[in-house]
Amino acid sequence: MSWTKLLCSHREVQLIGTLNGGQTFRWTHNKDNDEWIGIFSKTVWKLRQSNDGLQYQVIGSLLSKSNKNNSKKATVAKDVNTELFTSLLEKYFRLDVDLVRYYKEWSEADELFKSAGQQFYGVRMLAQEPVENLFSFICSQNNHISRISSMVEKLCTQYGEEICSHEGTTYFSFPEVQKLCEPKVEAQLRKLGFGYRAKFIQKSAEQIVEWGGEDWFRTLQDMKYKDAKEELMKLHGIGPKVADCICLMSLNHLEALPVDTHVYQIAAQNYLPHLRGKKNVTDKMYMEIGDHFRKLYGDMAGWAHTVLFCADLKKFQQNGKEDESVKPKRRRIK
């Protein structure tokens, strides 16, 4: 199977920090050949990195005409589809953003970022699909990454559409929001171990469908950041942190800054010492932390802080490589 290359410097894209830093939960890393396999846009991708580019293979896709007739067979993107898949990958990684330039600006504004950015270069803010992003982060509440990934895969297996099988694994798309809004979904998800999150998922899906489905998310993209966040928090079980994750990762509000335990600790230890030792983060403190970094980094503060977040994760603190012995939690601040 041939590879297609997107030309870009390795300083512009670092896969390990981007795909394994808590933004998304559907990528796995094969350390033997340093390749990644994951799913987005109803497509199964394989990625690898070189000094001068990002290489990809399409293992299977519901977007490919050749795959629709037999979804159980892995398919290769034909020449006619290469432009489509390349465009999807460029959009997903936001490759139109000159990240080296922004790293320079953020480093000039902040010595801590300058230090972190030397090791954690090329950490990109993924442009994710809002439905998948929202329900993935509902699963993330009071949870750790391996269990979040398991829950997301259960959602896909139970309610998604089969894309293909590859090397003994069957891959599914993330379910349409209409599949998650039916009343029986809550009971089904509780049986699958989702706990209280089952109700959040079903009720939020029901609201989204009532408000217009995918079109509703597009209206949020056109709103100002704070207005979009307020609308998201009207969903069942969506608090400030999850709303900020969706704004940042799916709605192009790159100034959004989700405040969890790690972010609070980074802020208190390095920037806002008067916040040290607090047991809980109040709404006022949450806003103070976000506003501090927005003032420091500008209208892409959420992206800049994601680099600090990666640098703070213990699993990345061994020469920038993943430490398998550590499974960090992305806990929710109460």
The catalytically annotated residue of 42, 46, 229, 241 is: 241
Residues 69 and 171 reside in one and the same domain: no
Tell me if 111 is assigned to some domain: no
Residues 6+ apart with CB under 8 A from 213: 177, 178
Residues 62 and 149 reside in one and the same domain: no
Q: Give residue-wise pLDDT tens across range 9-31.
A: 889 999 999 999 899 999 999 99
* Residue of 27, 25, 1, 3 whose CA lies nearest to 15: 27
At residue 298, what is the residue type? G
Tell me if 295 is assigned to some domain: yes
Q: Give residue-wise pLDDT tens across range 270-329.
A: 999 999 999 889 999 999 999 999 999 999 999 999 999 998 875 555 544 544 333 334
Residues 134 and 278 reside in one and the same domain: yes
CA dist., res. 282 & res. 173, Å (int): 37
Domain that holds residue 35: 4-96
Domain C-terminal end among 54, 72, 96: 96
Tell me if 108 is assigned to some domain: no
pLDDT of residue 3: 94
What CATH number should be reported for the domain holding residue 324?
A: 1.10.340.30
Residues 274 and 134 reside in one and the same domain: yes
Residue 330, pLDDT > 50, answer no
* Residue of 272, 313, 311 whose CA lies nearest to 290: 272
Tell me if 104 is assigned to some domain: no
Do the Cβ atoms of 16 and 27 come closer than 8 Å? no
pLDDT of residue 51: 84
Residues 144 and 50 reside in one and the same domain: no
Q: How many CB atoms lie within 10 A of CB 50?
A: 12
**Angstrom distances, CA of residue 39 to CA of 36, 44, 63, 132, 224:** 10, 5, 12, 11, 30
Tell me if 242 is assigned to some domain: yes
Number of structural domains the chain divides into: 2
Cα dihedral 171/48/327/253 (nearest 10): -80
Tell me if 17 is assigned to some domain: yes
- Nearest 5°: phi and psi at 12? -90, -25
Residues 136 and 76 reside in one and the same domain: no
CA dist., res. 124 & res. 92, Å (int): 9
Tell me if 140 is assigned to some domain: yes
Q: Which residue has the higher pLDDT, 95 or 76?
A: 95
pLDDT of residue 48: 96
Residues 187 and 265 reside in one and the same domain: yes
At residue 254, what is the residue type? L
* Residue of 135, 193, 162 whose CA lies nearest to 39: 162
Q: How many H helices and E strands in the chain?
A: 16, 9
* Residue of 265, 230, 266, 264 whose CA lies nearest to 247: 230
Reported residue count of the chain is 334
> What is the pLDDT of the chain when averaged over all its residues?
90
Hey, what are 312's tokens? 């703070």
pLDDT of residue 32: 94
What CATH number should be reported for the domain holding residue 75?
A: 3.30.310
Active site residue 241: yes
Q: How many CB atoms lie within 10 A of CB 315?
A: 18
Residues 166 and 237 reside in one and the same domain: yes
At residue 65 the predicted structure's pLDDT band, cuts being 50, 70 and 90, is: low
Q: Give residue-wise pLDDT tens across range 94-132.
A: 999 999 999 999 999 999 999 999 989 999 999 999 999
pLDDT of residue 79: 53
208-220 burial, b if ≥16 CB within 10 A, otherwise e? bbeeebeebbeeb
Residues 312 and 183 reside in one and the same domain: yes
CA dist., res. 132 & res. 329, Å (int): 20
Q: Give residue-wise pLDDT tens across range 162-185.
A: 999 999 999 999 999 999 999 999
Residues 23 and 87 reside in one and the same domain: yes
Any idea which residue has 């929001």 for tokens? 177
Residues 81 and 155 reside in one and the same domain: no
pLDDT of residue 315: 53
Residues 71 and 141 reside in one and the same domain: no
pLDDT of residue 145: 87
Tell me if 324 is assigned to some domain: yes
